[in-house]
Structure 1
Amino acid sequence: MRILVVDEDDEAGSLVASAFPGEQPAPTVVGHNAAAESLAAAPYDVVVVAQPDRLTTGMWGALRAADPQAQLLAAVRGDDFTLHAERWTGLGVDGYLSMPCDSRELRARIRAAARRTTGHLLHHDELVLHRARREASRAGRTVSLNDKEYALLEVLVRANGTVVTADELRARCWGLTQNATTGVVRNTIMKLRRKLGEPQLINTVAGIGYRLRRAVDSHAAS
């Protein structure tokens, strides 16, 4: 498991390192300004962002765009996760760590996040994503996708049937530093639907976003 800790004063880096004694490779610690470059240069399973308020919207967008598959965890002080979710979820944050915390809890939460990224295959009924090759297949048929189409489809698969908003898809797949609009997301969804074929897998939830249907729901709707 590869862990990147984004921290200026190394407090969070030390806590994460102490939670994973002997971990190989050892957790890497970088400053906020170097985070996106470091993430783009090497794959990481989990990115722990300490003092997340220090990151600008553009920095969050660059971090998300550097590796859409990495799990971004905001390390926050206090328990008001509702406030934090409203502030950062639209930027592509996947979860939160309450700091400081017991090393066993920290280790368990980071490992749980890593399990969402490790493994070469992701499944949603007859749909299979091959993460290493960034390819998709449906019922054994290869589906040719470009990078953005694959990234968007992976976000929907990981959501496991729950609704993902257009803003979150834009943040996760394009990053807020790119000039992508909700219209771009909508057009990419349309292309994905054509490529995935019938019955339709991607459902539009009016006024909210998109989700993947289960096969039984798709066949019933066709």
Structure 2
Amino acid sequence: MRRTADRDGRHLDLSVKEFALLEALLNASPAFLSTEDLLEQVWDEHADPFTSTVTVTIGRLRRRLGDPPVTVTTPGVGHRIIGPPGLPD
């Protein structure tokens, strides 16, 4: 099953995990979500906390969303959605 989103008039065909990740980040905005938070919210209780699955999925989502970037990762803090340039985050 695929989920869809639009950005700047472009249709984005997202995987279920990409869509759930985007939804979790949007719901938490402007707060950061840690990798552990995302594993709990987007994956299930059997997800390996030492895997790079969140990093890989964030990378895929960023590529699909295109420029300018709408997510930011701060090492040791987590991931979050950022606002459009010129608007406060």
TM-score by length of 2: 0.86
Which residue of structure 2 aligns with residue 135 of structure 1? 4
For residue 214 of structure 1, the aligned residue among 75, 83, 87 is: 83
1:170 and 1:185 in contact (8 A); partners too = yes
What are structure 2's unaligned runs of at least 5 residues?
A: none
Q: Give how far 1:178 is off.
A: 3.4
Which structure dedicates a bigger proportion of its chain to helix?
Answer: 1
Superimposed CA distance per residue, residues 24-51 of structure 1 (whole angstroms, 9 cap, x where no aligned partner):
xxxxxxxxxxxxxxxxxxxxxxxxxxxx
For residue 193 of structure 1, the aligned residue among 52, 62, 76 is: 62
**Cα distance in 2, alignment partners of residues 155 and 140 from structure 1:** 22
Which residue of structure 1 aligns with residue 46 of structure 2? 177
- SS of 2:72's equivalent in the other structure is strand
- SS of 2:46's equivalent in the other structure is coil
Aligned residues: 86
TM-score by length of 1: 0.36
- SS of 1:154's equivalent in the other structure is helix
**Cα distance in 2, alignment partners of residues 137 and 205 from structure 1:** 25
For the aligned residue pairs, the C-alpha RMSD in angstroms reads 1.9
Name the larger-Rg structure. Answer: 1
Q: Does 1:145 align with 2:19?
A: no
**Cα distance in 1, alignment partners of residues 3 and 79 from structure 2:** 21
- SS of 2:44's equivalent in the other structure is coil
**Cα distance in 1, alignment partners of residues 44 and 86 from structure 2:** 32
Q: Give how far 1:171 is off.
A: 0.8
